[in-house]
Amino acid sequence: MLKKNDIIPLVITDITGQGSGIGRVDGMAVFVPMTAVGDEINARILKVKKNYAFGKTESIEKPSDKRISPDCECYSKCGGCVFRHITYEEELSVKQRRVYDAITRIGGIRDFEMHDIVGCDSPDAYRNKTQIPVGRDKNGALLTGFYGSHSHRIVGSGQCRLQPEDFNEIVSIIREFITENGIGVYDEETHSGLLRHIYLRKGFQSGEIMVCLVINGTSLPHAETLVRRLTEYSSNVKSIMLNINRDKTNVVLGRELSVLYGSECITDTLCGLRFNISPLSFYQINHDQTEKLYALAAKCARLTGEEFLIDLYCGAGTIGLSMAKSAKRVLGVEIIPEAIENARENARANNIKNAEFICADASKAASELARRGTRPDVLVIDPPRKGCDGAVIDAAAKMSPDRVVYVSCDPETLARDLAVFAEKGYVTKEVTPVDMFPRTAHVETVVLMSKVKE
Ligand code: SAH
Q: Are 240 and 265 in contact (CB under 8 A)?
A: no
Mutate to test the pocket of ligand 1, among 273, 313, 323 (most ligand atoms within 8 A of CB): 313
pLDDT, averaged per 10 consecutive residues of the chain (454 residues), comes to: 95 95 94 97 97 97 96 88 96 98 97 98 95 94 90 87 96 97 96 98 97 98 98 98 97 96 96 93 95 98 98 97 98 96 96 98 98 98 96 97 98 98 97 98 98 82
Question: Angle between the 390-399 and 411-423 helix axes, to the nearest 10 degrees?
Answer: 50
Q: How far away, in angstroms, is 376 Cα from ligand 1 center? A: 19
- Segment 97-104 long-range contacts (CB within 8 Å, at least 24 positions apart): 97/17, 98/17, 98/411, 98/443, 99/411, 99/431, 99/433, 99/443, 99/445, 100/431, 102/411, 102/412, 102/414, 102/415, 103/411, 103/414, 103/415, 103/418, 103/428, 103/431
Q: How far away, in angstroms, is 391 Cα from ligand 1 center? A: 16
Burial 211-247 (b: 16+ CB within 10 A, else e): bbbbbbbeebeebeebbebbbebeeebbbbbbbbbee
pLDDT given at position 156: 82
| C-alpha span between 438 and 434 (Å, rounded) | 10
Q: Which helix (H) or strand (E) holds 440?
A: none
Catalytically annotated residue among 78, 160, 300, 409: 409
In this prediction the pTM is 0.93
Where residue 317 falls (left for φ over 0; alpha for ψ -120 to 50; beta otherwise) is left
| C-alpha span between 187 and 133 (Å, rounded) | 10
Question: Angle between the 165-181 and 223-233 helix axes, to the nearest 10 degrees?
Answer: 150
Q: Are 354 and 324 in contact (CB under 8 A)?
A: yes
pLDDT given at position 221: 98
Q: How far away, in angstroms, is 345 Cα from ligand 1 center? A: 17
Instruction: Provide residues with CB under 6 Å of ligand 1.
Output: 282-284, 313-315, 318-319, 333-336, 339, 361-362, 382-384
Q: Which atom of ligand 1 is nearest to the CA of 293?
A: 7
Q: Which amino acid is at 57?
A: T
Q: Which atom of ligand 1 is nearest to the CA of 339?
A: 13
Q: How far away, in angstroms, is 132 Cα from ligand 1 center? A: 22
User: What single DSSP character describes residue 140?
Assistant: -
Residue whose CA lies nearest to ligand 1 atom number 11: 313
| C-alpha span between 370 and 278 (Å, rounded) | 31
Please choose, from the candidates 368, 432, 365, 376, the residue with its C-alpha nearest in 3D space to the C-alpha of residue 403: 376
Q: How many CA atoms lie within 13 A of 49 on its CB side?
A: 8
Where residue 34 falls (left for φ over 0; alpha for ψ -120 to 50; beta otherwise) is left
Q: How far is CA 121 from the centre of its chain?
A: 18
Q: Which atom of ligand 1 is nearest to the CA of 294?
A: 7
pLDDT given at position 454: 63
Q: How far away, in angstroms, is 384 Cα from ligand 1 center? A: 6
| C-alpha span between 93 and 15 (Å, rounded) | 11
| 78 in catalytic set | no
Q: What is the pLDDT of residues 209-246, one digit of tens each?
A: 999 999 999 999 999 999 999 999 999 999 999 999 99
Q: How far away, in angstroms, is 283 Cα from ligand 1 center? A: 10
Residue whose CA lies nearest to ligand 1 atom number 6: 315
DSSP per-residue codes, 239-269: EEEEEE--SSSS-S--SEEEEEEE-S-EEEE
Q: Which amino acid is at 104?
A: T
Mutate to test the pocket of ligand 1, among 129, 268, 311, 335 (most ligand atoms within 8 A of CB): 335
